[in-house]
Amino acid sequence: MRHFLSSDDLSPAEQAVLIDRAIEMKQTAPGVGSRVLEGCSVGLIFEKPSTRTRIAFEAAVFELGGHPIALRAEELQLDRGETLEDTAKVLSGYLAAIVLRTFGQERLDALAETSTIPVVNALSDLEHPCQALADVMTIMENFSDPSNVTVAYLGDGNNVCHSLLLAGAKAGIGKIIAACPKGFEPIEPIVERAAAIGVETGCRIRVMNDPAKATKGAQVLYTDVWVSMGQEEEQQMRRRVFQDYRLSSQLLAGASPDAVVMHCLPAHRDEEIASDVMDGPRSVIWEQAANRLPAQKALLEWLVTQDLGGPRPPASSNNKTQKEKDKDGRRVR
């Protein structure tokens, strides 16, 4: 049984099938497509706020014929000390899948440990793999040959950046550059893993500190907030550190003439991205946000059928044994 806890949980071939399916689902009117969740419920647990992820999942479950049950964590006994492992055992008896937005990645691992139904990462501090599916889908829709595309990600080397590096490498994007202030680069294991995937798919991964150099001639300029959920206490420091990394019309002028601008949203206008760039003709941000729905529909369809065809990926986080996970130190009790 497969989960979706990381952008590394799909092989390049499987990710391509899933994104093709999402593009197909986008063309299908609600109510006439797949009803794979008919008679089933999906639990959506949010330990952090969400607009896009939660509502796209609720709509996706409904459009697939199922019933979404969305809950804030404080409405559950989780908030009074019931363990994630016990919660997963119980919910496995009621639901077809569990979607969790949380803080540490180890909370997703704990849920997946005892769950007998698929678990989905709806954002953790480490990764945002559902976002990356819609991001790659948007890039595929805008550029016919991903191997000729350079993606320049500006700002914080955070969860969104991590999943973009992994999923972008799997998609065979020509080059992905993360331009981040010193000390805020994506973490080394993710950069190394993306680079290793890139060796197979033809994607080069670069990390640098110069936003002008990173964006020069690039086809995709991407940014995210400077202060992620849970980092509110660092707000002032982060605004100072990131001020040269704003996605501005000046940076856009140095990019490729066919460049598009992306942002996972929510945006802090005129902080990490200039308002005129966000609303300008090169922005595909609204299209990117809209793609969350078909991407999550395709994801749920795969998870409940467990069928994407093609070869299976090598062992990854969610199909390791408990012993292997303990050895990796990824599991926190």
Residues with a catalytic annotation lie at 101, 128, 131, 224, 264, 292
The entry of ligand CP, ligand NVA, none that residue 102 binds, CB within 5 to 8 Å by partner kind: none
Q: Which is nearer to ligand CP, 96 or 164 (CB)?
A: 164
19 binds ligand NVA, rule: CB under 6 A: no
- Least separation in angstroms between residue 60's CB and ligand NVA is 17
142 binds ligand NVA, rule: CB under 6 A: no
264 binds ligand NVA, rule: CB under 6 A: yes
Residues that bind ligand CP (CB under 6 A): 50-54, 123, 131, 264-266
Please pick, from the candidates 142, 228, 291, 317, the single residue that binds ligand NVA as defined by CB under 6 A.
228
Q: Which is nearer to ligand CP, 106 or 135 (CB)?
A: 135
Nearest residue (beta carbon) to ligand NVA: 228
Question: Would you call the peptide bond into 266 cis, given omega within 30 degrees of 0 as the criterion?
Answer: yes
Give the containing element (helix H, strand E) for 42. strand 41-46
- Least separation in angstroms between residue 247's CB and ligand NVA is 15
**Among the residue ranges 152-160, 192-200, 201-209, 310-318, the one whose residues contact ligand NVA (CB under 6 A):** 152-160
- Least separation in angstroms between residue 231's CB and ligand NVA is 8
- For residues 163 and 176, what is the distance between their CA atoms, to the nearest angstrom? 12
160 binds ligand NVA, rule: CB under 6 A: yes
The CA angle 156-286-4, to the nearest 5 degrees, is 60
H runs (alpha helix) in the chain: 12-27, 52-63, 84-91, 105-114, 129-142, 159-170, 188-201, 211-215, 235-241, 249-253, 275-278, 285-290, 292-305, 322-328
Please pick, from the candidates 102, 158, 215, 291, the single residue that binds ligand NVA as defined by CB under 6 A.
158
Q: Which is nearer to ligand CP, 37 or 122 (CB)?
A: 122
Q: What is the DSSP letter of 126?
A: S
Tokens (6 digits) for 290: 């809209």
Q: 206 φ, ψ to 5°? A: -130, 145
Q: Which is nearer to ligand CP, 12 or 68 (CB)?
A: 68
The overall longest dimension of the chain from CA atoms, in Å, is 55
One-character DSSP codes across 16-36:
HHHHHHHHHHHHSPTTTS--T
* Residues that bind ligand NVA in the complex, under the rule CB under 6 A: 123, 158-160, 224-225, 228-229, 264
